[in-house]
Structure formats: C-alpha cells, structure tokens
Structure 1
C-alpha cells in the first residue's frame, strides 16, 4: 500500500494540520506493507505586482495543481488540509482521502467581514473524495449540513498529540519560571489569544473577578502581543509566544490551569496537549469541546459564577485540584497515538478492500 500525503504551503502557517500530517506519516511507518511519502508545495512564482494575499491565492489554486499533476501514482492520496479540496482532479492515485477540520472561516463570515469564496470553491470538490476523515463529530455534523454529504462517507477519528513531548515527565519548574521571567509562587492560569474565537476577553473578565478572591494568581497569555497597560491588573498578565512544541509543553507543566472559553472549536488541540501534561482544564461547552472534555470541566459561558467558583476551589482546595488533575490524565488516554494510527490504517484497508470486492 503506497500512501502519499499532501501538505499545505509552509507560508500558510497551518501548524495544527502540519503536525497532524507528520504524525500520520511517521505513525504509519510502523505498519508492514505500508510505504508512506509526503509532498510539500513550493512557491514557484514571484509576481512583484501581486500583494502577499494574491500571491498565495495564485500559488494555491494555480501553482499547486500544476505541481501535483507531475507526481507519480500512489494507491492512496491523502490531503491533510481541506482548504485544498480543489486538488482532486490533479491527484494521481486510485483512492483519494481528505482530512476535514472545521468550517470556522465560513461560520464566522459576518464576524470576520470577509467572503471566503475561494474556500467555498475548494470545498465544492469535497464530496468527490472516496472518503473524508473528520477530526470531530461536531465538524462532521457541520459539513453534512453545509454540503449535504452522505454521513457514511465521513469517519470521525480524533487526532492525538505528540506523546514524546506532551506527557507526565517531570521538569524543573524553577528553570522554566526563570526562562520566562515568571514569579514562582503565584498560581498560574494559561489562556490563548491567537484568534478571536479563543475568547480572550472572557478569560480576562474571569481572571479579574478571581483576583478579587485571590490576589496570588497570574495570567499566562499565549498568542499575539496586545497592549494591556490600560488594565489595572496588567502587571499580573504575562504575554508569551513559545517558539517550539517543547516550550509549550514546559509551560503547561509549569502552570496550574488551562482556561479555554472558546466561542467555537472544530477540535481543541490545546486541551489535549494540556490534559496529556496532567493540567486541569476549564472550557466552554461550545463546538467539539463537549466531545473531548470531561463533563465536569466544561461550562456554559453564561454561568460565570459557577466557573469562578470552580477555579477558586481548584486553587484553594488541594484535594479538589488533584481530583481534576486525575480527570485530565484519564480523559487524555482516550486520545492515544497508537489508536489513531491503527484507526487510520484500518480505514485505508477498508477502502482498498471494498474496491476489491466490487
């Protein structure tokens, strides 16, 4: 069985999808009779009249197909990013599979104030694929509603994270605190602010209210730098941008809580990462989060008092904290690398064997 994976452009900066692609690529090497390879497109043209956005549009929709059409035949072509559904007719493979992540750019079009016409064009090809792998039931349901695809054509296979990086191995926390200039004693809440739907404003509001109950807490904000000097509590907010996956793992292991009140998620990879490191999590119940988080750890965002009470108890009651830590560890066992690779392998075999029976 020859399987070739097709990645997005490095310039796309689709980190979560690239991570997933490399995980599958390396994981399937362990199976006999499976030969894996991958293709990463290169920027082929440089038009000085184009701005960066139009340059990448040209590369995605003109250059990439021209690069793909020259690639040798494989039994299975697996597109890692659903934004490249339009490659379908250019793939030289007997079976064509695509991983679908989410419809966030389309679901939040009004909020983003953009018309994702090119993504919509690309997605118009998705029902032509032999099979679709969705990263969550929520994403599968969204896709069925949007494209009216036969549910039998979509399999939900929950992605893992790199267990060699995100694990329960102990680290020197004092060394990490020194590295990021963090005070060692305060309890540490880690939050994300890379995109609007991570809902940093809500995280900040909750943090300020908890500070009224316990001043010995700081907020670790991951993402783009934001001017927060107008906030009274700005001295208790540390804005960091970890450079590597190892750095991110070390931060999880050095903190006391992941607060993740997303407006929507197609999956919620940071939650899996945090739980693998034994970190308690508090999330919203939006999107796919109800699928991957234990019911004791996701909340309706309207219930602010309940969320604040839960977090305060985590920091003031050691027994309650340890219980939630165990919940994270147990929940994370549902997302194991070896299970993921086996499920992908079984799906490939099922698709190939089904064809042999026809």
Structure 2
C-alpha cells in the first residue's frame, strides 16, 4: 500500500503531537518492510530518506491562511498524483471531502477544549468546533493515545467505538537513566544541587498555581527545595507570571532546552511534579519515568493510566498530599529508590517498539 502522512507538525517546535509522529517515523523502517510511505511537508525533514519519499510544497503567505489551503487543495492533489491508499493526519484535521478510495486516519490526542473551555481562547474553541466534527465525518479510523481519551471522543461526539483505536504515546530513546556527572561538561545549565522538576506548558490547565502553592508550603516547613520549570508561556500565563516573578529565589524557569539537556534535567532532578488538571496522555511524566525519576502526579483523566504503579497519584487540588509525599521521599531513601525502580518498570510498558507495532497493525487493518 501507499501511505501518506501530513508532516507539518514536524516543521516547527515539537509539541506532544510532533513527538508522537517523530518517534513512530523513526521506528517504522524496522517494522514495516512492505508498504511505501510518502511524507507531505513544507520544509526539510530529518528522516530516513532511503525509506520515506519526501513530497514538499513551499508556501509564502501566512500559515493560518495556508493551513486550510494545504489540507483541502494541496493534500487532495497529492493523494491523486501519488495514488495514495491511506492518508494519516497526526493532528486531527482532514480534508473536508473524501478523495476516491483513499482511507483517512486521524489522530486525536485529546478533546480537552471541549471539556475545559475556560483554558482556551474563544477563537481556538470555535476553530475546533468546525474542524473536529468534519474530520470525524470523513475518518475511516481515529487513533487516540489513551483509553480515557477514547471514552471522551465516544461520549462527546457520539462516535462509534469500533472506529477508535488506542495507540499509546511513547518517548524518544534519548531519554534514559544516566551517570549525569559524566555529562556535565557537555550540558551547560546552571542548576540547584537538588530540585523538583516540572516540564510542560506554563498555563492554568497544567495547574501551575498549584505547583507554586506546593513549593510555598514546602519552604514554609523548612524544606527549601527549589522548583525548575521547563516550558513556554501559554493561555492564561499573565495571571501566573505575577506569582512566578515574586518567587525567583525558589522557582527557576527555563523556556527551551535540547533533548540532551532535558534528559540531563530529568536525571539530576529529585522528584518530578505534574499536578495537571487534565491530560489526553501526559508525555512528560513518561519521559521522567523513563529516566528513573520518581513522579508525583494527578489522579485525573489519563494520568493514572500512564503513570500506574510507577509514581504517586494524588488529587491535584490537595497541596498537602503533594507536600507530604515529597517530604516522605526526602526522609526515606529506601522508598525513594523503590520508586525509581518502579518508574523504570512502568515506562517500559510504553516502549517505542510496542507503540509503533500497534500503529502499523491499525494501518494494515484498513486494507
């Protein structure tokens, strides 16, 4: 079969959606020896060009104007020109109309804007109200990244369960337990000796205000453990920024790091905190566990499904429970190192080979 993938999510700074696709594309050449893959893109891609056929279309006008043109004019033309059998969109959107006998697969990581509207702008919610139902109308198969997200899609859109498959997220093999002291000459980051870590967008949905309260409570009890936040500002940041600015001695913000630096941050951290209110999956906790870092996260949405026994699962509004768990790990080395082992064991359940094989299986079921 000839399979095409819309790869525009790889053309800019990688989010969870981009990493999901990047990881699968890296492993597919080892698993699928029969199908042909065409990658539709607007820029150069860092992939195996002996295996993938790169189809590039440049553009010279604003991205927001180009995006609907790309999906409804450029993509249909490519599908016909290259006799594509299956088209995969890793980021929800599909052409409004079916093209010949081409089967459509869309990946919907989550439907959070339909559940927690207050965390997203009116314009973005309006855009999703238009494109998501249209994508579901033409989709032959929907992939999502957790059982929780699958149930949300079924419930919110009355979409048939048999058309939805769960293909869990995975994380890059660049995340692993390391002897971080040997990496210090290569990684130029000024970090506290011992610190808590959060990785993700700086926005209200991620419960950054809760993180601040956790740190404040720890310091009030005499545990002066700083927090390192790695992430970019997102919707609702202004309210959060004022509180962060007042706590520069206890909260360090890093906007961007390379994967090598992020792996170092995970390995050098003491505990990973992720008290998010809602996640379709939650890649950062999985990255942390893959490095053997104990995780304390929320008991909401898909997070218990991902973290399992590899971390502590707590009500995101219960600051005291987060603080008590951190203190218990500070005081009990045996418990701390037991959780490091359990984190590695849980992360292995989401290894890249298993996830890519499931992705490959779903594709071939559409023959």
Smaller-chain TM-score range? Answer: 0.7 to 0.9
Counterpart contact for 2:195–2:269, Cα < 8 Å:
yes
Counterpart contact for 2:177–2:292, Cα < 8 Å:
yes
The Cα of 1:58 is off from its aligned counterpart by: 2.0
SS, match of residue 110 in structure 2: coil
Distance 2:312 2:9 in 1: 36
SS, match of residue 283 in structure 1: strand
The Cα of 1:137 is off from its aligned counterpart by: 1.2
Counterpart contact for 2:28–2:356, Cα < 8 Å:
yes
Distance 2:181 2:100 in 1: 50
Q: 1:341 aligns with which of 338, 343, 356?
A: 356
Q: TM-score, length-normalised on structure 1?
A: 0.86
Counterpart contact for 1:191–1:219, Cα < 8 Å:
no
Map of 1:33 onto structure 2: 34
Distance change (3 Å), C-alpha of 1:286 and 1:176: farther
> Following superposition of structure 1 onto structure 2, how do residues 35-50 of structure 1 map, counting pairs within 5 Å?
35-41=36-42, 44-46=59-61
Distance 2:60 2:190 in 1: 43
**Deviant stretches of 4+, over 4 Å:** 9-14, 90-93, 227-230
SS, match of residue 266 in structure 1: coil
Q: 2:279 aligns with which of 250, 261, 265?
A: 265
Map of 1:51 onto structure 2: none
Distance change (3 Å), C-alpha of 1:19 and 1:190: closer
The Cα of 1:213 is off from its aligned counterpart by: 2.9
Q: Is it true that 1:195 corresponds to 2:203 in the alignment?
A: yes
Q: Deviations over 1:116-166 (max 9, x none)?
A: 222221112213211111111121111111211110110111111112x01
The Cα of 1:13 is off from its aligned counterpart by: 4.6
Q: TM-score, length-normalised on structure 2?
A: 0.84
Q: How many residues align?
A: 339
Q: Deviations over 1:276-330 (max 9, x none)?
A: 0101000111211011112551111243322211111112211111011112111
SS, match of residue 297 in structure 1: strand
Q: Is it true that 1:110 corresponds to 2:125 in the alignment?
A: no
Distance change (3 Å), C-alpha of 1:322 and 1:334: same
Distance change (3 Å), C-alpha of 1:120 and 1:8: farther
Distance 2:296 2:155 in 1: 29
Distance change (3 Å), C-alpha of 1:171 and 1:92: farther
Q: Is it true that 1:222 corresponds to 2:230 in the alignment?
A: yes
| Structure 1: gaps (5+ residues) | 47-54, 353-358
